[in-house]
Structure 1
């Protein structure tokens, strides 16, 4: 059977399974009145922020035990929520074992002295709807937060992803004057260099700075990869593969170091060409070709994939070989993708703290927070799934 015919057959099967799965899910939630979509920490932050802004407390807040009872959450959840509000600049810590205090806030301007709307440019390398979902969700959440605070938000699309140096037309295309604020999704060294030379205040959400002093808020992929490999090695895997397609050299280096350290710590040899093959391109034919080469050499027992499209192509490749997940090959997605909910068996992956990252970027824009060492690494949550199993004998 040709690759195209196999893909078409597999797509039909997945669609039929999705329909059956949806019917089963619908039957389970018929009697549920609402589905909780906001985490406990985010809900506590929102509730406390409303209380602060409406003047419930003039100075000192009650203790975490009292607040936990009032909000109906645990004390650790309240502590994390208070820490987030302190990072936003609404609260200040009274010190160890002391209650938080409400920060002194400026009186609103009189009607004749209304400040101008603050302006920020959200910059992407391609149309927002085509960007990776994990990054897109952060920008969309940030947009909502900024609009609620009377910010003037503008979008710009500039293909900076593969630029080796700043382009002459970026001044006109981006349209940011010296001192203005820019948030770049998956930034790159050339963009960092342009912003510094131009005097633009820029922050990256993900990406690579190339040593330039540009702040960044991101989930660190090498940390996620380390956790994924630890779990797979504990199950008995050692033929684990992570393709690194269309990634910057510094990113590839950090990911390879993470894989090498985990394998060698388990007494296993590490081969960059086998465990972490790379390519300059991320395309269906490239991903398929990498899989063909690997399986001819020595069949992997586990695959950790960075991109959702890459995972779909790989799953089709496995199906054409008659291999099943996780019986024959375990799968992990090193990303956050809403479509992963449709994957059967349930996919092992990571859930990103979208709201927390958006709030941190907003706090930086408002001058209320600076990341340590120019980078704020936000931890992601491991979602176990059912696509992991011990390697076949």
Structure 2
């Protein structure tokens, strides 16, 4: 969707067409009433009405007389604009081709749900300025908005416009949100490795910020203590930064040069490929010499042979509940809370049982 810059009277004309389509009536309100309703000047209203008359939506009338609406012309104009079909925006900070595979699959699944409800799901790349986003939202007037891993202030600004908003990967307590707990994924990975008899387990973090690493460390320390295990940040949660496989390989080489782990927990499919290529080049066999566990819901893992043991979060399964909330349906349609998306353990041949 491209950002469109319209004059104020053009925005008003489009808003009137959409409102009249949603709530049909025979006569249009007066200039003063319209100005007060849409918070615009008298001149802006008059220019918008002149434009609607040119489109034959308004029938000619003497000054001061009520303006009658040409319903057939209104329907034709609404149809050409795709009105009459409610729209829900899916806002992300990256374009659809550039975002990760999971996000593309999630939008695809959500689009199918919307089409069954005679709704249209539209993907929107977050504009650089918040004001530009507000202009787009005023023009489109969506029934609801999904924000994906955006700053809390963005989701809160949308909700303040009176638009039902739900955040995926959102930290704001003022927004209904569905989140994947990275701590639950990682701790589940460690637990599964321990149950299989692995005591030397490492979860390399790839290009994570200092704040994320600090938070994960703070959450994992009491978890390790509850399992009567000693936590070492540099071993159990080593941080690797870089631009590609060479940097990732260098980080793993450093990890293996001291006390080689018997099990590695990796993140997404790309990290799995980088870890696998390092192990292959180093002559380290999976799972005989080192086991692998992934924490990802990427469906690419379904087609690997031998199979990969992994922790899968079920975010796609929650999309119907997301749509219900945006359409103000369900048992508690106005309840604002956080739902932690549960994960599922999927056994695989990449995890060797040492116990």
TM-score bin, normalised by smaller chain: 0.5 to 0.7
Which of 280, 301, 310 aligns to 1:319? It is 280
Residue 379 (structure 1) aligns with: 342
1:299 aligns to 2:260 (yes or no): yes
1:132 aligns to 2:95 (yes or no): no
Deviation larger for 218-227 or 248-257: 248-257
Task: Classify 1:253/1:174 alpha carbon distance in 2 versus 1 (closer, same or farther; 3 Å).
Answer: farther
Task: Classify 1:153/1:282 alpha carbon distance in 2 versus 1 (closer, same or farther; 3 Å).
Answer: same
Which of 273, 280, 284 aligns to 2:234? It is 273
Task: Classify 1:191/1:305 alpha carbon distance in 2 versus 1 (closer, same or farther; 3 Å).
Answer: farther
* Stretches of structure 1 lacking an aligned partner (at least 5 in a row): 1-111, 160-166
Which whole-Å CA distance do the structure 1 matches of 2:209 and 2:162 have between them?
Answer: 25
* Stretches of structure 2 lacking an aligned partner (at least 5 in a row): 1-73
Task: Classify 1:336/1:371 alpha carbon distance in 2 versus 1 (closer, same or farther; 3 Å).
Answer: farther
Which whole-Å CA distance do the structure 1 matches of 2:93 and 2:187 have between them?
Answer: 28
Residue 116 (structure 2) aligns with: 148
Residue 294 (structure 2) aligns with: 333
Which of 203, 214, 217 aligns to 1:242? It is 203
Which whole-Å CA distance do the structure 2 matches of 1:174 and 1:361 have between them?
Answer: 24
Residue 230 (structure 1) aligns with: 191
CA-CA distance at 1:152 after TM superposition: 2.8
Query: Is the radius of gyration larger for structure 1 or structure 2?
Result: 2
Paired residues of 1:176 and 1:182 also in contact (CA < 8 A): no
Paired residues of 1:301 and 1:328 also in contact (CA < 8 A): yes
1:82-161 matches, cutoff 5 A:
116-158=84-126
CA-CA distance at 1:265 after TM superposition: 2.7
Paired residues of 2:307 and 2:348 also in contact (CA < 8 A): yes
Deviations 1:326-362 (A, max 9, x none): 1111111101122213333210113443553110110
Paired residues of 2:295 and 2:312 also in contact (CA < 8 A): no
1:389 aligns to 2:341 (yes or no): no
Residue 148 (structure 2) aligns with: 185
Paired residues of 1:349 and 1:385 also in contact (CA < 8 A): yes
Which whole-Å CA distance do the structure 2 matches of 1:359 and 1:271 have between them?
Answer: 41
Task: Classify 1:173/1:199 alpha carbon distance in 2 versus 1 (closer, same or farther; 3 Å).
Answer: closer
Residue 180 (structure 2) aligns with: 219
Superposition RMSD on alpha carbons, in Å? 3.3
TM-score normalized by structure 1?
A: 0.61
Deviations 1:68-120 (A, max 9, x none): xxxxxxxxxxxxxxxxxxxxxxxxxxxxxxxxxxxxxxxxxxxx999943221
